[in-house]
Structure 1
């Protein structure tokens, strides 16, 4: 195989050749353990609980957790937090949780102190990646390529940067008679953008470092150090991009949407219907199904997503409508008990699917386990708190009033985005 051409974004800073190459050291068990750690404190001076605020239908922290887990490069993925709600969201996205102490949860606490506390409690970790929760356009490929510089090339630390083409001038204090001076240009020979390489700035998306660097030297950058250059469209920082709607548009266009699902489970009562039963004089009980929702199901089926409708064992009225539901939607219909997970888990295993390739829509606290496990999950706008908290996406509409169509469009958007990203990844690999 031909050697891979080094890309411009992977150019190194000058390495410290006197470093001990601590990245090659292993934990006491003799095995390297690479961990991802996202710091997500509950307090926020700007936006309350910003780390779990929905961004384009997904909790902010969910975007980076999905990228980290789908990279398949980490032996463990953690969220360090001091807040119960953040802990619930983190676990629903497949992360482990480190409950940080009060000492490192203050406004004056540094990221380094929190990371050191985590490493003290997890001695098996030899390489750590601190991922910023507010970088929702992070992709698995960014993490995979950056980590190679530690695991394959022996660097001790890697951090993400973005290239900017901005001319800097010296600041002059108010009231001073001093004149400003250029800091990175000659005004008499202003370069054109295409004739200037620009400058590299940390974008804060992630920092890889070896255990020894963090614990022995108290640094995230040091030893043999290199950078990984990210494209500007992926360098979205919610701490800076305070206009949430603008950030949402960036994420919808450039965020990582996962690999797409091939199987979706949907509760009938409360999702496909509004949960009401209409009693007639003739004794026939009826329910209402919105045509918009059945159209959404057909959209999924057309895109090769198998949809399975779930009926509660206690819902006798819906059970009597099995044949009509099958005929109307073309879906398989299953009866599930008090814990739906026990009934659908065998089907997921039979299809040999990973849970991240499964979508689930539910509207009850009993659905929480499935909502947590599924790669994509949703609850109608009128779902009770137990289901709403567990769902990764909250629909704009209530059950029986367009919620299924809304979620179907969300699933298809993520599938299409995933296809485009996979195609682009193949193009990028061929270019190197």
Structure 2
């Protein structure tokens, strides 16, 4: 059993009743509730509040899995911790020890269903006792004594070569009831990290945060919905850093090797079954890619295409098929993919794509890295957005 728990007080000082204040046209708390309602892995959603107004707003929405729990006054004051209300509810509901308990923060409205789903799937693998969400921060940090914290200032790395640091974004936390009761904490034991897109870094705390997050919501979440359904007729992808992890492996004989992901292969099969043409466009030119393309049964393979050459090739393919660039979906990870990404109708990049690519407007930043099944995730999104015209 999976319970999502959303604590929302009525006594916010900086933004009065912020949890039900309209955010992008909808009460703030409703964004997380509705994302959780669409998450098949979540069985029940508990909104823990001390406010009549918040309870009224939540109950007026006719949600399927959501219930309101009236938290005690002592656990709704300014000094009460989130853990205190978590423990209060767990004991009140007498939740079983192996129940999965997911703490969700209403102040992180950019969290989407896919984030909850993937994190719960990650937790279900049994590798971790608890999980928290983070974003990758590419800033350079310093200690108060004038020493650099996360880089060597005498050998300053380029931003694209800098791995960054993981920063807790407070979106949600996953643990089991027995661990929470034993530790009194949302996190315990062997802790895993679910990495979210960098635009989810902020939480709403002050009025200025509200303005910034509404803009981010419009660009990264609402823009996908406003774009509506797409009628994709051609699916293209890069290879290194997308279908692979970008690593270069060599055998003892000096043969170059690449590691591909079988789930991505199944994605290409699903595209074929849906009647969508597929192709690979890469800057490299190797027999390995040729063999992989044959295995995937792609309709188009173009190797040795760099920078503007990729877009020119795709325009030729579109002319051949009698389609437009708006009917093309493409996934790439580096600067040589940018021109094509900016031109196509649906665009995506792996979680570890270069910073410039991740900043492309309306791009889908996937939750997995290159070679880790990110192409399959993109395939599923493309197919779910088909208009079937």
**2:12 matched residue in structure 1:** 44
Residues 1:187 and 2:153 aligned together:
yes
* 1:102 Cα deviation after fit: 1.1
Match of 2:377 in 1: 429
- Name the SS of the counterpart of 1:87 in structure 2: helix
Question: How many residue pairs end up in the alignment?
Answer: 237
In 1, the alpha carbon distance for the partners of 2:364 and 2:37 equals: 16
The correspondence of residues 23-172 of structure 1 with structure 2, limited to 5 A, is 33-93=1-61, 94=63, 95-124=66-95, 126-171=99-144
C-alpha separation in 2, matches of 1:163 and 1:225: 17
Between the aligned partners of 1:257 and 1:123, the Cα distance in structure 2 is: 42
User: TM-score, structure 1 length as denominator?
Assistant: 0.50
Contact 2:180–2:188 under 8 Å retained in 1: no
Shift of 1:66: 0.9
Would the alpha carbon gap of residues 257 and 114 (structure 1) be closer, same or farther in structure 2, given more than 3 Å must change? Answer: farther
Query: 2:126 and 2:214 mapped to 1: Cα distance?
Result: 36
Partner Cα distance (2:223, 2:19) in 1: 18
Q: Give the TM-score of the pair, scaled to structure 2.
A: 0.56
How far residue 121 of structure 1 moved from its aligned partner, in angstroms, is 1.3
1:237 to 203, 227, 232: 203
The residue matched to 2:217 in structure 1 has which SS?
helix
Q: Distance in 2 between matches of 1:72 and 1:238?
A: 27
Larger radius of gyration: 1
Q: Partners of 1:202 and 1:422 in 2: how far apart?
A: 21
Q: Give the conservation status (yes or no) of the 8 Å contact 1:170–1:182.
A: yes
Once superposed, what is the RMSD of the aligned Cα atoms?
A: 3.0
1:232 and 1:39, CA in 2 relative to 1: closer, same or farther beyond 3 A? same
Q: Mind listing any 5+ residue stretches in structure 2 that lack a counterpart? A: 229-344, 347-361, 368-373, 381-389
Shift of 1:244: 2.8
Match of 1:202 in 2: 168
Once the two structures are superposed, what CA deviation does each residue of 1:338-360 show, in whole Å capped at 9, x if it has no partner? xxxxxxxxxxxxxxxxxxxxxxx
Give the distance between the partners of 1:144 and 1:225, measured in 2 at CA.
18
